[in-house]
Amino acid sequence: LLPLHIQDEGRKAQFNFKNYDDDIIASKTALSEFLYNKATTLLSNTNYKSDYRNAYSDLNYLNEINPNYKDVVSKIDEAYLKGLDYVIVNMTNNTDQIIPKRLEDELLNLNTYGLNTNWTEYHTNRIQNQLYDYQMEVSFQDINISPEQIREKQISKEKQIKDGYTFVEDQNGNVVADSLGNSIKVDKFKTVRCDFYQFTQFKSVQVTGVVSFIDLKKQQKINQYPLSSQFVFEHVYANYDGDKRALDNDLVSLLQLARVPFPSNEQMVYDAGEDLKNNLKNILNNQRFN
């Protein structure tokens, strides 16, 4: 804004400015040293995850205000690794049914779940010499598969349809003409009937289980969540006996369908897996260890 002119006094305004650069540098140096020493002490003298995470937060702030200060980058990595909760994941099948291998692989592919925590790392394969803090147990308790069923329903339909036409005659049996001399015609109708047979193929599966989290240091269960899913296979087809012109359009369309093979039990369990994956994703996103 300078220069500013004081019109009444006929001169330029004068200001005394203090240079704070040295104070800012001194303050940043002091704060950097404080944060570094505090974080270094925590990394060396604590066994608590929360302290490692506090050190991680301080070191990241230090790196923002004073990039590449000493060995702060390597200490950020150290704090992060020490602050992580390591969870080993196991899956058990306590049912009398086979869990498809590809469903197991998809359920345990935790990278697809979009987990929103920065401080938990899940392992489905145990890493040698890694100390684990928690265990996550996915246990299938029951798989109920219904018998293959075909339900039949019969519907009888009746409808009047056009069946040609006749000429209008007068009382003497002569054909009546309109004003233009054209013979007058009227539609003929007849009643048609049809028996419609609808078949519904039905099979269902219900999978139930639990997801448990165990504190391995204390050897005690800390949380348990139910896990369940249901999948229904249903296919409708039909045939008829009689004149299908008596049927409504929505029924006629079913006549184009035929019976299909029922899915195997293994396929039914796999098809229930999409819902299982969604349930497991919600459990993982809601679980907090501390």
Instruction: Kindly state whether residue 37 falls inside one of the protein's structural domains.
Output: yes
Tell me which residue range forms the domain holding 65. Answer: 16-83
Does 41 fall in a domain? Answer: yes
Residue 36 domain-assigned? yes
Residue 170 has pLDDT above 90, yes or no: no
Q: Is 216 inside a domain boundary?
A: no
Q: How far apart are CA 290 and CA 14, in angstroms?
A: 60
Residue 147 is predicted with a pLDDT of: 95
What is the Cα Rg of the chain in Å? 40
Q: pLDDT (tens digit, 9 = 90+) per residue, 136-152?
A: 999 999 999 999 999 99
Identity at 229, one-letter amino acid code: S
The pLDDT value given to residue 137: 94
Average pLDDT, the chain: 90
> Is 90 within a domain?
no
119: enclosing H helix or E strand? none
Q: For 264-288, how does the pLDDT look when each residue is reduced to its tens digit (9 = 90+)?
A: 999 999 999 888 988 998 898 888 8
Give DSSP secondary structure letters for 130-191: PPPSEEEEEEEEEEEEPPPEEEEEEEEEEEEEEEEEEE-B-TTSPBPB-TTSPBPEEEEEEE
Does residue 72 belong to any structural domain of this protein? Answer: yes
Structure tokens at 111: 């990278």
Residue 76 falls inside a structural domain: yes
Residue 135 lies in a domain: no
Q: How many structural domains comprise the chain?
A: 1
pTM of this prediction? 0.71
Residue whose tokens read 């302290």: 51
End-to-end CA distance of the chain, in Å? 54
H helix runs in the chain, sequence order: 21-45, 49-65, 72-83, 101-107, 249-252, 265-271, 273-286
Strand-pair partners of 249? none
The answer to which of 25-29, 72-76, 123-127, 183-187 has the lowest mean pLDDT is 183-187
